[in-house]
Structure 1
């Protein structure tokens, strides 16, 4: 059966340290073009994963939903959809960071380092250091979202760094279409992770972008991910 996004509720979860403002700007243009209803719950840094799960459960009380997100948000959404096939009709997974246990995944290491830096040096000095190693657009995005989640942000980063993402076996049992988006030049969210996910899931497709494209147009990430979901969920392109 083809996936129909028109009228569907799509819940999108931000990445670690990011926020609902960014994920809305990234995904809403493509989803609104398809006639979907976009829900972007704000992260609760003091209870990041549980807050995300509760937001998905709350949205699904009115009927099955598309679950999605970026990085840790993508992992939580995919795990939720795998566990609740009765409540999910599809998954949007942008920039998945690792498969299974985090171990030495770059995103997990970065989250732990950022948490330590924030606790040691404070918000202002940590934002300045973060900007030095980030593209300008990403530095601007994170400076805003980090300030909005301070002072609980280090706790959220530590929690995210320990999160066990879906395993390849769990992805193989995913009953709904999975649309993936990865940035080919993102060393924190390696494209190889998305390639593993698309190979493991029964109905999955992957589209890629670059960090430069994401900086020029935040909606580039969402368009890629939605296009992948439509490909995974149908034999023809279209909402």
Structure 2
């Protein structure tokens, strides 16, 4: 029997390189294979999900914005989704001033006016390195993508309650941009969700714990 393929989408202005670095090994440990498509705008993320469907339900998910997009796709295509692997959902429903949405909007303005280096001036370590690589990879699409991400809707709790598939969620207890309360609310709303947690000092590889949570949910 072929290994199960799991399609995971990157977060806002992140990329497939980051997704692979975090999820390839945890998925291989459970006999699954990662599909991390190269996507930029929201429309490309949705196209990747639609294109991955081959007539049988698939496991999808992602990080932050990627988790939002995958969960919304699952709500709209319940017969096509076999499970969800979700890391760091950032808000529920409309963004309504969520920290991650405000950060994306502010970053778009700084990049447009002062450039990428100015927008990344406050970041350090692995986060700075990851964002610098990924943001340059977006080219002229970076600002419009940051703007569209800041205004995009996540699933509502009512919508999440319809997703009766094995779901693993990882939330962070001390990440102000991705409040743990959001991950907790998503997990409580979804009938077959298992929530696991991490802390900022364990980033980024601890996000792969969503894979084990998905397995437990199954």
**TM-score, normalised via structure 1 length:** 0.87
Alignment of 1:1-239 (within 5 A): 7-44=3-40, 48-61=41-54, 63-127=56-120, 129=121, 132=122, 134-214=123-203, 218-222=204-208, 224-233=209-218
| Rounded Cα–Cα distance in structure 2 between residues aligned with 1:15 and 1:112 | 14
| Secondary structure of 1:86's aligned partner | helix
Structure 1 moving runs of 4+ over 4 Å: none
Query: What RMSD over aligned residues (CA atoms) do the two structures have, in Å?
Result: 1.5
| Secondary structure of 1:103's aligned partner | coil
**TM-fit CA distance, 1:109:** 0.3
| Secondary structure of 1:17's aligned partner | coil
How many residue pairs align between the two structures? Answer: 218
| Rounded Cα–Cα distance in structure 2 between residues aligned with 1:71 and 1:38 | 17
CA contact (8 A) 1:29 1:219 kept: no
5+ long unaligned stretches in structure 1: 1-5, 234-239
CA contact (8 A) 1:82 1:175 kept: no
| Rounded Cα–Cα distance in structure 2 between residues aligned with 1:58 and 1:152 | 22
| Secondary structure of 1:202's aligned partner | coil
